[in-house]
Structures are given as C-alpha cells and as structure tokens.
Amino acid sequence: MENLMQLKEVCLRLDSDFAIQNLTLEVKKGEIFGFLGPSGAGKTTTIKILTKQLNRESGEIMLFNKPIEQVVRDDYDRIGILSDTSALYERMSIEENLKFFAEIRNVGKGAVEEILKRVGLYEQKKRPFKKCSRGMKQRAILAAAVIHKPELLFLDEPTSGLDPAVTLEIHKLLRDLNQSGTTIFLTTHNMEEADKLCYRVGIIDRGRLIACGAPQDLKLEFARDEIEILTKEKKTITVSKNEEGAKKIQELIAAGDCLTVHSQEPNLEEIFLQLTGREF
Amino acid sequence: MNISGRKIKTLYIKDFKDLFKNSSVLIGCLIPVLFILLYKNMTFGNMHMPEEFLIKLGMVFNLGMVPLMIISTTVAEEKEKNTMRTLMLSNVSGLEFFISKMLVPVTFLVVSDALIYLIVGMDMKYFPGFMIFNFLGSVSMVMIGGVIGIMARDQMSAGVYQVPAMLILFLPSVLSAVNETIEKIAKCTPTEAVSNLFFSQVDKSFASAGLFFSIAVLLLWSAAATAVFALMYRKKGVDN
C-alpha cells in the first residue's frame, strides 16, 4: 500500500527537553493508524508538526508524496483535523456552523445535508450548538472537520471524556469514514479504542516510538510463553509452550478434564508496561 | 502569504451576523447612538443641547468605544472557546481571521456614525466629510482593537485591557474643555484629531496649523498602531 505520510528521524525539543526524538514511522493510504501513549508522550506534538503548527528541528517528513516544506496551503484542504479542543460557534445552530465550514472549505451546501445525515444530526440541525449534549457536540465537530471529505484525517483524542455510548457512535462514524476512503491518524491514550479501530498502531513514550505494528502482531510478539488451561474443577493450570506443556494439555483433554485452553497474549497496555517498565 | 477573499467574506458574514446575537457586545456598541438619541431629546427649559457638542460627543464616543470593544471582545471569545483554533485547523490564516474581524467594526461604525449624524440633524453638506474623517480615524482604532485582541487570552482579560485604552482614547477629548492640560493631551488622540478635522470643514479653517497637526496625529496613530499590530502578530501570532 502507498504511503500517505512518512516521518524519518524527526526530532523536536521543547524547553530544552526532547518532545519528539528520532521519530520514524509511516502511515499508509486507507488505513487507520493509532498513535498511542500516555499524556505528555508526544502524540499531540507529532500532529502539530505534521500540520505545520510546530516546526521540527531535524529529520524528514513526507506528506502526500512531497517533503513537508513543499506542502502548500491547498494541500491542507486535503486534510481534516479534530483536536481535543476543537469547538463550534455556540450561538449558531449545528446547521449554520456546518454551512459556515462548508463555505470555508469551498464545498457545496449539499455537503451539509449529507454530513448531517451521516452523523445522525439531521433531525436536530436547527438546535443551537450550546444547547447540544456532549455527544451531539462531538459529532457536530467531527462533521465540521470532515465536511470537505479529506483524504487524511488527524484525530487528537476524539473520544476523550465521552461516555461509552457516545464513544461507540464516534467509532462507528470513524469506521464509516475510513471505508469511504479517508486515511485516519488517531492519537489516543485509550488502548482498547486503538485495538478496536486501528489497522496498525505506534506506541510512543517520552517522544520515542517504542513499538509499531498491527495490534495482533504486537500481541503475538509480546505474548508470554505460557498457555492457561481451565479444568473441570475450575482450577487454572499454566503450562509452557513446549513439548512438556503439549503433553500435559493432551493428557487433560484425554481425561476429559479440560474446559478451556488460552494462549497468554497481552493487551496493548501490558505491552506498554513490558516495554517501559511503567504503568500506562 | 496568500489571502483568500472567499474565506474573508465567509468569516465577515459570520462575524457580522454573530454580532447581532451577542447581546453584551451589541448593547455596548449601541450605547453611543442611544446616548446621542437621549441627549438630543433632553431639554433644559427651552434649551436643547448644541448640535456641535452632540456631534462631537457621538463621534468621539463611537470611535473610541466601538472598534475596541468589537474586535478585542470577539477575538478573545474565539480564543476562550477554542473556535479560533478550530478555524486555524480548517486552513484559515491568522491574517484572514483578523481582516474579517476588523471589517465588522468598520461597517458598524459607518452605520452608527450615519445614525448619529442623522439624529443630531446637522446640515447634510458636512455629512460626506464627517463619514470620511471618521473612516480615517477608524484605521488606528481598529488596529488598537487588534492589538488588544492579540494580547487578551480570554474575555475577562480583554475587558481589563479595553477600559484604560478607551479612557485614554476618548475621555480627554470629551473633557478637553475642562482645563488646558487635558486639552493638550486630547489634541494628541486620534478621536480629537477626527473631531478637529470635522470641525475645520464646519468652521472653514482648512489651512490652519491645528488642522495639519490633526492630520499628523491621525497618520501617526494609524502608522504606530499598524506597526504595533504587525509586530505583535509576528511575535505572538493569533493563538497565544
């Protein structure tokens, strides 16, 4: 798959500390790439560098197959950005807000109707933004960010502080957007969210990329060398992934004493713990 | 930097419509017109307020208050509520944002100045000059409003910066008759300069030294305010 974005040994210091250190990664066209890490790891800084809100100190960045220095203002019309602080105008209705952003992005008014239906806000379009619920607000903000059908969408903690039901709605929307061709670069500290949504994830800690790959591949890579067996007596037996362990499982199955067999794959949070020795 | 006329127009229309939904700013901006309307209808015995006094009060009040209030408060609100950041992330440049913000008070001033003139009821032959001098005066005031907008982080801090700026810019002019010191200070303000320029056409004193001084004051304020705005914009940007 073609790369839409590529970073090579990118560095940036903020207040003399490295915010980003030798960051190398690529985002392929059509994927949802999850950028994970705890608060202060460098996720938002990376988005700011990629969207030219901050300048890197060294390293190379390619965006839409050209060096970022050559990326002009028109290219940024191919991008949508939703940050954790994005907001719409409170005294305007959802529809007025979206019409305004449609004008700014130079897309026809028809796009407003389409996106309102897509994010499920068509019925409430006349409601002033300030009178919307948190979930409605987040959907409206997302609609404004994607009204011009961007090729690349940066999402900075899009579900931060939202309740599980709204989070699920946003996830559905993101999958839908991705299926219609939008590449998504998503930062989150919610490992479960990344696991559910992303084709590939990069884990960042203190400005360094410490792991990168498909969630399933990472889990297999960091899987413990153990298999857990639940017996009829509800006892858990742990065996190694070797000849001896295989023999033990065989025996238990033959004796009809085996209820379940589970390999021990860590979740992304446990991988982070293994890599850094710290809690996420 | 390339500037998009389409984006400025879209922002301007949005800002102008929003002004009429923002009651706190709107009421503040209508005060000069309402004040003149009230003064015009006040009588002391059989005496009415003199037209010259009313027109000067309205002009100075309007010019000293409206641009500062509209720009600084609305920019600060956009910062406080993160809508400015959302705009910047939607490929709107800081300059496009500020141009639209500055066009709104200029439009408002044109309309409210015309209203003030009509309420006062002065001879219409001075009307074009009145509008032109006020428009010239609005350049420096709009830039000062922009500087406060850049400095203010939120609406509260915008209010803190606005009050002294307004007092410095329009109070000396209103109180210039009180004593000579205030009169001297007033002569150096853009509001008084605009007032002097207007009354020079009424008095037909076009060649007086005072007139050239007023033009110089106006140019100096406009140049200085534009330079400070450019400096602040380059140093702090729009979203500090």
Residue range B3-13, pLDDT digits in tens: 899 999 999 99
Contact B72, B122 (CB under 8 A): no
Which residues share a beta bridge with A62? A6, A67
pLDDT at residue number A84: 80
Summary mean pLDDT of chain B: 90
Interchain pair B90, A85: CB under 8 A: no
Nearest-angstrom CA–CA distance, B150 and B232: 7
| A interface test, pick of B91, B95, B100 with most A CB neighbours within 10 Å | B91
Nearest-angstrom CA–CA distance, A32 and A15: 32
pLDDT at residue number A279: 65
Of the pLDDT bands very low, low, confident and very high (cuts 50, 70, 90), residue B36 is very high
* Secondary structure percentages of chain B, helix, strand, coil, to 5: 80, 0, 20
Question: CA of B85: which chain A residue's CA is closest?
Answer: A86
List of chain B residues whose C-beta atoms are within 8 Å of the C-beta of residue A88: 83, 86
Tokens 């699920």 sit on residue? A168
Interchain pair B14, A89: CB under 8 A: yes
Residue range A151-174, pLDDT digits in tens: 999 999 888 878 888 888 889 989
Q: How many CB pairs under 8 A join A and B?
A: 55
Interchain pair A85, B82: CB under 8 A: yes
Half-sphere exposure of A220 (CA within 13 A, CB side): 5
pLDDT above 90 covers a percentage of chain B that reads: 65
**Mean of the pLDDT values across residues B209-232?**
89
Q: What are phi and psi of B107, to 5 degrees?
A: -60, -45
Q: Is the pLDDT of residue B204 over 80?
A: no
For residue B100, the one-letter residue type is S
Of the pLDDT bands very low, low, confident and very high (cuts 50, 70, 90), residue A82 is very high
Query: Where is mean pLDDT largest: A11-25, B38-52, B129-143?
Result: B129-143
pLDDT at residue number B135: 94
| A interface test, pick of B81, B85, B86 with most A CB neighbours within 10 Å | B86
pLDDT at residue number A208: 92
List of chain B residues whose C-beta atoms are within 8 Å of the C-beta of residue A77: 91
Q: Is the pLDDT of residue A129 over 60?
A: yes
pLDDT at residue number B42: 85
Residue-range domains of chain A with CATH: 3-219 (3.40.50.300), 224-264 (no CATH)
Residue range B137-174, pLDDT digits in tens: 999 999 999 999 888 989 999 999 999 998 888 888 88
Least confident of A80-94, A95-109, B170-184: B170-184
Interchain pair B6, A85: CB under 8 A: no
Q: Is the pLDDT of residue B238 over 70?
A: no
Among A2, A32, A1, A5, residue whose Cα is nearest residue A176: A32
Q: Is the pLDDT of residue B182 over 70?
A: yes
**Mean of the pLDDT values across residues A202-208?**
91
List of chain A residues whose C-beta atoms are within 8 Å of the C-beta of residue B94: none
Query: Where is mean pLDDT largest: A13-17, A261-265, B60-64, B231-235?
Result: B60-64
Q: Chain A residues with CB-CB distance to B under 8 A?
A: 51, 53, 73, 76-77, 81-83, 85-92, 100-101, 103-106, 141, 144-145
List of chain B residues whose C-beta atoms are within 8 Å of the C-beta of residue A91: 18, 21-22
pLDDT at residue number B1: 62
Alpha carbon B33 to its chain centroid, in Å, reads: 13
Q: Is the pLDDT of residue B240 over 60?
A: no
pLDDT at residue number A224: 80
Tell me the shortest Cα–Cα distance from A151 to chain B, in angstroms: 14
| B interface test, pick of A103, A142, A152 with most B CB neighbours within 10 Å | A103
pLDDT at residue number A118: 87
Question: CA of A96: which chain B residue's CA is closest?
Answer: B14
pLDDT at residue number A11: 93
pLDDT at residue number B239: 59
Interchain pair B82, A86: CB under 8 A: yes
Summary mean pLDDT of chain A: 90
The alpha carbon dihedral of A131, A132, A138, A144 has a sign of negative
Name the residue among B11, B22, B85 with its Cβ closest to that of A83.
Answer: B85
Tokens 């960010």 sit on residue? A145
The H-or-E segment that residue A210 falls in is strand A208-213
Alpha carbon B123 to its chain centroid, in Å, reads: 24
pLDDT at residue number A202: 94
